[in-house]
């Protein structure tokens, strides 16, 4: 087990060292390329910032308007069918848009039910094995358009595939938390 911890501590420094050595061996201007990449990264952040602000505002509006409670009520039969506690439906929905907002809801769940309760364990596992679908998709597709690469015009199966993976993650979080009982 100790070798695994040592390996995880050394992973990032070893990757950086490998990149630098590889660049030097190939006689590449490593530092200049790093600075160029950093500049491009900052430009990308500036370009996608309005999208991020819009997503965060949208999540705030959904929570404040009571729409989340309405949607939770509509999805409760589906949640019950897979064993997901109804209190976690808002968490499941919010996580698809914002990880930080979902973390705030998780802390509320911990305060209400406790982190070691069934609901607390399901929520913890769920947040670890699901993705912020709409945030990631919007940032990725916008970043490809901004970066000068050919923009992705058709998302095709991206959203359905991500929704299926999220559903699988939610189901497995219930199963895994149930195994811990």
Q: pLDDT class for 118, splitting at 50, 70, 90?
A: very high
H-only helix segments in the chain? 2-25, 30-65, 67-82, 89-95, 99-113, 118-129, 133-146, 158-179
Q: Is 8 exposed, middle or buried (0-12, 13-18, 19+ CB in 10 A)?
A: exposed
The pLDDT of residue 4 is: 82
Q: pLDDT class for 147, splitting at 50, 70, 90?
A: low
Q: Look up the pTM and report it.
A: 0.67
Averaged pLDDT for residues 21-49: 88
CA distances from 8 to 2, 19, 21 (A): 10, 18, 20
Q: Count CB-CB contacts under 10 A for residue 162.
A: 19
Q: Is the pLDDT of residue 11 over 70?
A: yes
The pLDDT of residue 145 is: 66
* Domain-located, residue 54: yes
Q: Is 26 exposed, middle or buried (0-12, 13-18, 19+ CB in 10 A)?
A: exposed
Q: Is the pLDDT of residue 150 over 80?
A: no
* Domain-located, residue 23: no
Q: Is the pLDDT of residue 101 over 70?
A: yes
* Domain-located, residue 140: yes
Alpha carbons within 13 A on the beta-carbon side of 5:
2
Number of domains in the chain: 1
Instruction: Domain of residue 84: give its range.
Output: 48-179
- Contact in structure between 122 and 174 (CB atoms under 8 Å): yes
* Domain-located, residue 135: yes
- SS3 state of residue 86: helix
Q: Count CB-CB contacts under 10 A for residue 68.
A: 18
The pLDDT of residue 138 is: 77
Q: Which of 27-31, 143-147, 156-160 has the highest mean pLDDT?
A: 27-31
The pLDDT of residue 114 is: 94
* Domain-located, residue 55: yes
* Domain-located, residue 12: no
- Contact in structure between 140 and 162 (CB atoms under 8 Å): no
* Domain-located, residue 11: no
* Domain-located, residue 86: yes
DSSP 8-class letter at 152? P
The pLDDT of residue 70 is: 87
User: What angle, 0 to 180 degrees and rounded to 10, lies between the N-to-C axes of helices 2-25 and 30-65?
Assistant: 130
The pLDDT of residue 164 is: 94
């Amino acid at each position: 087990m100790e070798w695994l911890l040592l390996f995880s501590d050394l992973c990032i420094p070893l990757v950086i060292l490998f990149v630098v050595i590889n660049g030097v061996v190939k006689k590449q201007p490593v530092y200049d390329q790093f600075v160029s990449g950093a500049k491009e990264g900052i430009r990308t952040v500036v370009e996608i910032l309005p999208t991020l602000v819009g997503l965060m505002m949208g999540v705030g509006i959904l929570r404040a308007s009571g729409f989340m409670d309405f949607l939770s009520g509509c999805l409760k039969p589906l949640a019950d069918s897979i064993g997901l506690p109804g209190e976690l439906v808002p968490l499941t929905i919010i996580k698809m848009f914002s990880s930080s907002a979902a973390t705030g809801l998780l802390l509320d769940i911990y305060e209400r039910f406790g982190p070691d309760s069934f609901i607390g364990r399901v929520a913890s596992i769920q947040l670890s094995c699901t993705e912020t679908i709409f945030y990631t998709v919007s940032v990725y597709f916008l970043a490809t358009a901004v970066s000068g690469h050919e923009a992705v015009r058709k998302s095709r199966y991206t959203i359905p595939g991500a929704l299926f993976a999220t559903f699988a993650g939610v189901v497995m979080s219930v199963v895994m938390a149930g195994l811990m009982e």
